[in-house]
Amino acid sequence: NNKNIPIQAIGLSLYEDLATSDSSSDPEIIGAQVIKTQWLHFGPSYADTCPLLGKNILIVDEVDDTRTTLAYAIRELLKDIEEEKRKFIEANAAGTPVPETKLAVFVLHNKKKEKLMELPDPSIVNEGRYFAAEESPDKWLVYPWEAIDIDEHTIKSSLRKE
């Protein structure tokens, strides 16, 4: 099979301003501001197509902590899929079945704690399409690709294991 599997990257940032106003203790406010820094871009060759329809889409994230950014990513992706469904229905004969898109999630670390958000598509969990490489305690994780000085990071990591 010489089929290419396209990979798209999105970038999201979660901004938590925990002590700047009286509303900072409201769970609806804390960590609720997710900013898109990069979103899907299929290029001009996909302008008249529906590249998300009929696909199995795997969303990959480092850590499922509060689930805020993961839920946001899925919610935004579902909006894009709904828009493509609308375009597909307009462009095709009545009764033409809309290709089904399935989402799955893979995280490196799932922090074992109560999440602030539920996944917007419950079928991801209900149908066994949520995967975690490791279940981990609710502790701060520092990944090598986030380190300013990789050598220092490696030394500190080695010392923690001893």
Residue 61 known to be catalytic: no
Question: By mean pLDDT, which of 15-19, 67-71, 139-143, 149-153 is the weakest?
Answer: 15-19
Residue whose structure tokens are 């406010």: 29
Distance of CA 144 to the CA centre of its chain: 20
Query: Model confidence at 161, in pLDDT bands (50, 70, 90)?
Result: low
Q: How confident is the model at residue 140 (pLDDT cuts 50, 70, 90)?
A: confident
Active-site option among 61, 64, 65, 121 = 65
The CATH code for residues 52-161 is 3.40.50.2020
Check pLDDT > 80 for residue 13.
yes
> Residue ranges per domain, the chain?
52-161
